[in-house]
Chain A
Amino acid sequence: MLSVQSVDYSYGPVKALREVSLTVGPGEIVSLLGANGAGKTTLLSVISGLLAPARGQVLLGGQVLSGRKTSLVVEAGLVQVPEGRQVFGPLSVEENLQLGAYCRRGRQHRQQVSRDFEQVYHLFPPLARRRRQPAGTLSGGEQQMVAMGRALMAAPKVLLLDEPSLGLAPLVTREIFDIIKKLPEQGCSVLLVEQNALGALSVAHRGYVLTNGSIRFSGSAAEILGDRQLREAFLGPERFEGSTGNKP
């Protein structure tokens, strides 16, 4: 489905990504792990079309998306939920969700979009109660739900989640991860970028470990969790499932 092939990216002389390849299959949740500064967010920006790779390409269902406008990438079905949620604070929850469906603004989508509104409110019950409230006045967990709901309104085939647990309390983090687990049933694969590695691996099928801009390891969630060296070097022995995953 999503296929990233040998992508390179540099910020001036600094190589941020080197020969990065990964795939996300239909119905899969794939976790991308790595320390702060490993290049995770850069990789997501390349996948979303915010940055053009120096080399390599990004494909979705065989269609080349790298180097194309973000609006086309979104229309193709690749949607990112950015780090730090980035909801449109002064706009209501409903307006935020409506903007998520911006790529489906044609008349022919109207029925499906209104069905998807109900679907999102079903998936995130707190949002249904706060439809008319400005999104900026919601709690961190609820804002994360707005950000995810907004992205789901674009009817993505693959959802890219950048640090969804960032700054959230353990209980709320659990709630968000539980919802992520349900996404494949909705026909949406997930690429989950997390510093909270144990939390991410508890919902992911597979994972990649990114260090200094290269994929160092890939395997099933159990394999990564079972590798003592990986645990200590990249995931950190002090991290436990449901920890807040705050950046230092």
Chain B
Amino acid sequence: MSGWEQLSQYVMSGLTTGSIYALAALGFCLIYNATHIVNFAQGDFISLGGLMMYTLLGAAGLPALLALPLAVAVVAGLGVMLEALAIRRAKSRDLTVLIFITVAASALFRGVFKEIWGKQALAVPPLSPDVPLRFLGATLTPQNLWILAITLAAIAVLIYFFNHTLTGRAVRAVAINPKAAALMGIDTRRMVRLSFALAGGLGALAGAIITPITTASYHVGVMMGLKGFAAAVLGGYGNFLGAIVGGLTLGLLESLGAGALSSAYKDVIAFVVLLLVLFIRPRGLLGRGEEARV
């Protein structure tokens, strides 16, 4: 394999995992913007997305075109439940308490997943038959392309939603200034619930498209969720574009780092770069710090 082909291979694989980190990071941003809490159950949304695909595609034999939206809907529902049953009902409005509720919810989810799906790794069928393709010197599976395409499509839908629909703008208004939004008659609770649903849906999407490569298990999303969190911090926490840039950067760093040194160091390389970036730019790559007071 030539150097060019190797580089191309690392870049493609970095973009693939980076896409997953970006989707997870977007989930973190959505919930943070709506509520200012860090949702540590984001990784479990990813796990459930993969597990649902295992059941719906493999066991129930549904076509992918049906299984994927169904998996997304189920996990979006779990997101709404997390908000309605745990976050909303908490007696305390203290952010630390609310964040810990998500940590507890994450442990609970993992326990339930383990009861239902067991401990073993489960093979999830890919979205289309596994025929290796050559692309710019790299060898890819169709699943790699699915991941890139579905991530791009999800980002395009989000951009449209937040910039060109009234409901999307209302979600942004609640994030910018909840009191002023309420005074305009916007139901802030509904927008928060919608943010949890979207975060769940994005997590499910990430899990559904990556597990044909990694296999599914009750805890497969945990590490991906943490990397998504790191990606969100890298990009500037709460910034959507930052989440995407942060996710892809982290994926590329891991992949190129593993190629240049050893795959044993891939997590270390990624996190060292994350620390360096945060030393130089504590707000993250695209973070603007506090929204200008008006």
Contact = CB atoms under 8 A, between A and B. Distances in A.
A141 interface: no
B185 interface: yes
A89 B186 contact: no
B294 A87 contact: yes
Given A71-B186, A86-B294, A99 B177 contact: no
Interface string A137-158: 0000001000000110010000
A89 B169 contact: no
A98 interface: yes
Contact of B183 (A79, A90, A135, A143): A79
Contacts of A123: none
B281 interface: no
A90 B182 contact: no
Task: From B176, B182, B294, name the one whose CB has the most chain A CB atoms within 10 angstroms.
Answer: B294
Interface string A226-238: 0000000000000
Contact of B180 (A69, A75, A88, A98): A88
B183 A89 contact: no
Contacts of A75: 185
Contacts, number: 79
Contacts of B177: 86, 88
Contact of B170 (A82, A85, A99, A136): A99
B173 interface: yes
A82 B180 contact: yes
Interface string B152-168: 00000000000000100
A85 B185 CA distance: 16
Contact of A102 (B170, B172, B179, B294): B170
Interface size class of A (residues with CB under 8 A): 20 to 34
A88 B187 contact: no
B5 to A, nearest CB: 44
Contacts of B182: 50, 70-71
Contacts of B59: none
B149 to A, nearest CB: 30
Nearest to A50: B182
A2 to B, nearest CB: 16
Interface centre among B182, B183, B292 (most CB of A within 10 A): B183
B183 A88 contact: no
A71 B173 contact: no
A75 B176 CA distance: 22
Q: Chain B binding site: helix, strand, loop or mixed by DSSP?
A: helix
A100 interface: yes
B185 A91 contact: no
Nearest to B172: A91
A57 interface: no
Interface in A86-132: 86-91, 95, 98-100, 102-103, 105
Contact of B179 (A82, A87, A89, A151): A82
A235 B186 CA distance: 36
B94 interface: no
A89 B292 CA distance: 8
Contacts of A136: 291-292, 294
B261 interface: no
B272 interface: no
A50 B183 contact: yes
B183 A48 contact: yes
21 contacts: A50-B182, A50-B183, A71-B182, A71-B187, A74-B184, A79-B183, A79-B184, A82-B183, A86-B177, A89-B294, A90-B291, A91-B172, A98-B166, A99-B170, A99-B173, A99-B184, A102-B166, A102-B184, A103-B184, A105-B166, A150-B184
